[in-house]
Structure 1
Amino acid sequence: MKKMGSWSKKSDVIEQINMYKYYRHWDFENSSLNIVAVMSTPPKVFDVDMIIGDNPSPGVAIMTITGTRAFEEVSKLHNIRFNYTIMDRWIGDFKRNSTRVAANSLYFEEQDVTPLLRVTPEIFKKVDILSPPLTSIETRYYYRIPTTGPGKFENQFLMPLTDGVWGCVVAVISLCAIVLFLTARAERRPAAAQYAVFSVAATFCQQFFEDNSAIADPSRESSARQLTVLVTGVSCVLIYNYYTSSVVSWLLNGPPPSINSLEELLESPLSLIFEDIGYTRSWLQNPTYYYNKKNSEVEDKLRKIKVFKKKKGQPLLVPLEEGIEMVKAGGYAYHTEVYNANTRISRTFTQAELCELGSLQSMEKTLLYPSVPKNSPYKEFFNWSLLRICETGIVSRIQRGTSSPEIACEGSSPRALALG
């Protein structure tokens, strides 16, 4: 029974009855609602502290902690008892006999609410979205910048010339030395062999030697010998200029030794590993699920080449702590959310290691919305109650408690010069 107001004969009206209905229905009297959340490995015995506690269980995303804590605040305000269902993924397909995940369990009205969902056009048609959003998600590939690999990833300044180039160099200078020896011998020049060998060697080493002046004095040299010395000099200058021009062009025009796109990640020598978490399982198991629809083509290639063709025994799904350590050791690109990664990296990386750390965005920063089934009777109530705890600062307090520190190189290590 609720006291709604009082009736007076004089006014013939019931006073205070026009109060907003959610103030009138403030107390749900411990009524139960079904809520679905995600952990990478659903436990046999669940305790809500696994998600909202100060030390959450492994496989719980920071976004899950933020959203669930907000809903727990709503439950305390309105005396609601949540019955939790834990699943291993947020998004799957919507066939009747498909494996139940958070999204399709709402669609089939088996659950009343979920604290967050990444809203795609397909999801928007299947469930109702609540507002305001409680948190966001951003994922990246973290890696230690490789020093070897194809094309842009190599420091070309330190690359030796290939065996084929050296073979051509030796062949050209040998031919020039032989021709110079024959012309000196034909002119009966003393020490013809030494003259030919050391002249070519000096030219190759970019040293000026006394007999080079003979090119400008036709009276002292035969035309054959002039031509030979000229060919030798031009060949050596071309080799020298080609090498130094490659160095300068790489320094001025090449990108820093990092990975700037998923295509470059695909070509890199890095092995991909992933955090064992709900959205990763959706990406691995659902071929129509993408971190970013704009990169659907290259994501398909990553799945096909870097994931499904892994050798047996190579790691794929790795816990956060182990994944960051593998990144630190080098040779791996670890896919995880930014918040958890930054927290772990800030605790374990030295400043020098931070300067060697690179990251590549996979999923753009995306707002996550609580969701209910279509035409849910709780939609308006949750919209009102979530907006109320946002206005009173409860949500921002929760978000500050789950925020992570920024990580950045302080410039203590030199970087490759770039034109920009």
Structure 2
Amino acid sequence: VSHLNLFKHYHHWLIYDGSNELIAFQNTFQHLNLSVDTDINYVIKNTTTTLVEPSSSSFVVYDVYNNGFQIGGSLNITVDYEVECNSLACLKCKYLSKLHMRSLYGNRERLSDIRMRVAVVVTRFDLKAPHSEINAFLSSQRDFYIDPLARFGFQVLLLLKDSLYTKVSLQYFDKWSDADNTGGVVGALVNHTVDLTSAPLVMSPLRFHFITPIAPTGYFRSVCMFRTPRNSGIKGSVFVEPFSMQVWIYFGVILALAALLLWFTFLVEYYKMGKHSTFIPSFLTTCLISIGSACAQSSSLLPGSIGGRFLFITLMLISFIMLNYYTSVVVSILLGSPVKSNIKTMSDLTDSNLDVGFEPLPYTYAYLNTSTLPEVKRFVRHKVAPKIHTNNLWFSAQEGIMRMRDRPGFVFVFEVSTGYHLIERTYEATEICDLNEVQFRPDTQLVTHLHRNSSYREIVRLKILRIMETGVHAKHRRQWANDLKLFDHHYRWLIYDEMSDIMKFKIFVSNFNFFIDTDLTYAMLSDEHINSSKNSTFLLYDVYNKGQKWGGRLNMTADHAVSCTHSNCHLQKYLSTLHQRSKSGNRERLSDLTLSVCTVVTRKPINLPEEVLIGYLMSQNNTHIDGLPRFGFQVLMVLKDILGSNFSYQFKETWSVTETTGGCIGAVGYEHSADLLSTPFLFTEKRSLYSRPILRNGHFRSICIFRTPRKADMKTGVFMEPFSVAVWILFGIVLGLIGVFLWVIFLVEHNKMKISLTYVPSLLTTCLMSFATACVQSSQLVPSSFGGRLTFICLSLLTFIMYNYYTSIVVSTLLGAPVKSDIKTMGQLADSNLEVAMEPLPYNAAYLNFSKLPEIKRFVKRKIESKSNSGSVWLPAEEGILRVRDEPGFVYIFEAFSFGLVERYYDAQEICDLNEVLFRPPADLHTHVNRNSSFTEILRWRLVRIFETGIYSKFDRHWINSRLNCYLGNNALIQVGLEYTAPLFAMLFCSYILVLIVILLEILWKHFERREA
């Protein structure tokens, strides 16, 4: 039976030992293959119980199991209950232990006598390294983008290990599997050479035959990501797409009919109404007039009759409507071309010409080799196979993501737990918005698996679910355990005094380290029931000390009396009013304590007398000077009155030196030399290790303000920017070629066809016609031949499209330029040529020194380190705000407490002209105490009371102004001044100078010709 592994949960065993030889049974079964899910009841006859019925028999039932015979477990035999049996039935008489109070696995959850075998996957570390180094790598919190799934799984494993109280034996592998269910950690689990894997796995049908899922512990998502290629997928057909082919045909037919009617009108006017012209325009000429009107070109030939002119007006109206509709659609497609690519699937990616790279992950390689999806096979054939032997296929996560940033259109395939943090750390906001995602493989859950026949399935499942539900981590509890603080709220104490000597107890505990949150009940027998055999009455006392080290005294208050029998206890009466309020409510007055308070003062020497500094902090004027410390201190004084306690002060000139040490933050948290900080501060992950936020107590907002620069960052190049240099050159060449072609046409018409003109226009004249058409100017000279007019029509269409595209961009840039500056981020501010200064606050300097954001590092390098005198960057609030008012384009960084200065010195127009850029992300401010402080609940409830009464709102309205209000609205007239039009006038002035030079040269040339003649 043992060899066949039949002692499992799916067999229930009842073993009756008629000889009552418990020792012999133990000696036999300690060598059998029992497990933690074994269901064996061992029964022996009870010979010590006196039975009521002589025909009955009494038996004792034992629970028998082993945590794991094969991995070092020992036999466990626990008495469970007693049954009494007669010839008809068996009934439980009584329980002999506490096994019945918990489930089967609840009684067996501690696996302290075994060593579980665990398969650990490590893909980015040398497996030949010492095991201590491998474990240190897997346990570390740094460089999260290196082997994230393996390290995440290992750290969850450590929590599970602590929860099971077991030991582990680790086996290291460099991959999850070779095939679907062989090799790597999956193969080890399938072969049952390990009991558990550190990393969760993806479930598959083949694996289900050998291993079973326990609980979801992660999420797997692999994506192909790339920045939008620069061409944005725009094709030449975009110029035809605004109208369907049917609309274009109808429009062409209407123009042809209009041309026919025009020709007929000219014919009628010539023969019937008198000669308005010396000739009859040909039908081709009227077609040219019709198409020219559609392309916003006028005509020197107009009908003279009223009907003919109405016909021309109708043609112009139709053309006007079509032109505007067409222009709107084209501009919306081109200027509003999609920021995102139209590549949405693996098939689209395969058919594109984008370059692809991969993060070297074993499961990515396995997926490419084993996937049966046709789009993946085609992807491998087109994108992977041609590069398989090159160095341009596999990139580390950091290298691939940087390459993706620097080369729009490069596709990088990675796992999101690796890449998202890297992207947020190294990409700017605009670059993140420019990213496109394509699913590389279907998203799926990661599940912790065990062998299908594992005896630990239920225990591991329950423990993992418990870890996920509570979030309590054993390693964090060990980090924060304090053996000297056993009488805090984490433990509930009941102390029974058999001697009922309350005075002796008081003397005994008078020097104990009790706290205000101590939960200790002292119980003693009532005097009249001492030495009594009847029901006993116990008196219960609430015992605490508001804080021995702060000067508190022991406090014992009678609470209630309970009357107890052998079976239960019930409340007899209350001995005081303690029951009418909560524990914190009964202990809220701290009149016998002196709390240590750390206070920040940044604008006064901290070596001044305490009375002077307190008077400064309590003053109400000049709210922009030390606004945050003074606001926090005045709220603290209200808290002091409510608590009724005394305060001793520590004055410091900074919040902290590093994120967690130095200054007042270090005093409250890491050093625990202060109980409270007068000023609320920002909550961060590292600070949470030493201090705890108890209540939101304000909002921190640090901004850069500046008035819109007069030049609005407009440069002459804005008139050239709609097209690249290459487009301008190509457009100029096309116009020049058309000018030459028109000159040839006029030459041929004059010499060979003898039509239209009595002279041949010069090449300069035809080039002028070409460029004039590009500028939406008509021409009195029009070719008469069919081919020449088709040339002119093509020229009109080309210049129509170019003109509308150019005009739309320039108008949107100039007339649509925002009244506010387009500088919206710290990155844009760092790249601008604006001068910057900031308020001399310690947290500003700390943020500049310690921020890891790339835009802040760039800002420091370009705006502060580049200055010859970096000290000139620091300006007092009043001076900086006045300079912003007087120098449009000057940037000043300050905290929102100084908004009152802006409202004092600025008029309404100047306030509306201000631009804001967030210097750092806004965040809530919290009142903090030390993580192990015993005053947490008392302070929280007292601060909540201050909020409820409106006292906090009064201080908030006085000290804090979170925004500036522009009362002019959006209807204010914005005048276009020289600062906007100066570049255009400058270009015109330069053009006139150039023209004057050309005319002078031409005059000199004519003068030279006359002298030669």
Same fold (TM over 0.5): yes
Among residues 187, 210, 218, which one is paired with 2:780 in the alignment?
210
Provide the TM-score with structure 1 as the length reference.
0.73
Residues 348-387 of structure 1: pairs in structure 2 closer than 5 A? 348-387=905-944
Residue 68 of structure 1 pairs with residue 633 of structure 2: yes
CA distance in 1, matches of 2:970, 2:951: 38
CA distance in 2, matches of 1:364, 1:110: 30
1:309 deviates by 3.2
Question: What letter matches 1:357 in structure 2?
Answer: L
2:667 counterpart residue number: 105
CA distance in 1, matches of 2:578, 2:790: 110
For the Cα contact (< 8 Å) 1:50–1:56, is it kept in 2? no
User: Are the structure 2 counterparts of residues 245 and 155 from structure 1 closer, same or farther at C-alpha, using a change threshold of 3 Å?
Assistant: farther
Deviations 1:202-243 (A, max 9, x none): 54553323322x35x44xxxx6x6687667656754653342
User: Are the structure 2 counterparts of residues 49 and 55 from structure 1 closer, same or farther at C-alpha, using a change threshold of 3 Å?
Assistant: farther
Residue 266 of structure 1 pairs with residue 835 of structure 2: no
Deviations 1:380-402 (A, max 9, x none): 44234323323333222222222
Gaps of 5+ in 1: 7-11, 289-295
Aligned-residue RMSD, C-alpha: 4.4
User: Are the structure 2 counterparts of residues 179 and 132 from structure 1 closer, same or farther at C-alpha, using a change threshold of 3 Å?
Assistant: closer
1:190 counterpart residue number: 759
1:124 deviates by 1.0
Residue 128 of structure 1 pairs with residue 686 of structure 2: no
User: Are the structure 2 counterparts of residues 197 and 135 from structure 1 closer, same or farther at C-alpha, using a change threshold of 3 Å?
Assistant: closer
2:863 counterpart residue number: 306
Residues 45-64 of structure 1: pairs in structure 2 closer than 5 A? 45=608, 46-56=612-622, 59-61=625-627, 63-64=628-629
Provide the TM-score with structure 2 as the length reference.
0.33
1:4 deviates by 9.9
Deviations 1:269-296 (A, max 9, x none): 33333222232122023345xxxxxxx3
Stretch of structure 1 that moved more, 353-362 or 115-124:
353-362
User: Are the structure 2 counterparts of residues 133 and 198 from structure 1 closer, same or farther at C-alpha, using a change threshold of 3 Å?
Assistant: closer
User: Are the structure 2 counterparts of residues 372 and 198 from structure 1 closer, same or farther at C-alpha, using a change threshold of 3 Å?
Assistant: closer
Gaps of 5+ in 2: 1-552, 559-572, 752-757, 976-1013
User: Are the structure 2 counterparts of residues 201 and 68 from structure 1 closer, same or farther at C-alpha, using a change threshold of 3 Å?
Assistant: same
Partner-residue secondary structure (3-state), 1:81: strand
- How many corresponding residue pairs? 387
2:972 counterpart residue number: 413
Stretch of structure 1 that moved more, 49-58 or 278-287:
49-58
User: Are the structure 2 counterparts of residues 124 and 13 from structure 1 closer, same or farther at C-alpha, using a change threshold of 3 Å?
Assistant: closer
Among residues 695, 700, 704, which one is paired with 1:137 in the alignment?
700
Deviations 1:7-41 (A, max 9, x none): xxxxx997567786776673636846232324256
Question: What letter matches 1:349 in structure 2?
Answer: Y
CA distance in 1, matches of 2:728, 2:854: 41
Residue 330 of structure 1 pairs with residue 892 of structure 2: no
**Aligned residues: percent identity?**
19
Among residues 32, 35, 40, which one is paired with 2:598 in the alignment?
35
1:283 counterpart residue number: 847
Determine which structure has greater relative contact order: mean sequence separation of CA pairs < 8 Å that are 6+ residues apart, divided by chain length. 1
Partner-residue secondary structure (3-state), 1:48: helix
Residue 81 of structure 1 pairs with residue 647 of structure 2: yes
Stretch of structure 1 that moved more, 252-261 or 116-125:
252-261
> Which has more radius of gyration?
2
Residues 245-260 of structure 1: pairs in structure 2 closer than 5 A? 245-248=808-811, 250=813, 257-260=821-824
User: Are the structure 2 counterparts of residues 93 and 199 from structure 1 closer, same or farther at C-alpha, using a change threshold of 3 Å?
Assistant: closer
Stretch of structure 1 that moved more, 305-314 or 172-181:
172-181
1:122 deviates by 0.8
1:71 deviates by 0.8
CA distance in 2, matches of 1:195, 1:251: 33
CA distance in 1, matches of 2:845, 2:918: 18
User: Are the structure 2 counterparts of residues 270 and 102 from structure 1 closer, same or farther at C-alpha, using a change threshold of 3 Å?
Assistant: same
For the Cα contact (< 8 Å) 2:699–2:922, is it kept in 1? yes
2:677 counterpart residue number: 114
For the Cα contact (< 8 Å) 2:827–2:858, is it kept in 1? no
CA distance in 1, matches of 2:771, 2:814: 30
1:103 deviates by 1.3
Question: What letter matches 1:337 in structure 2?
Answer: E
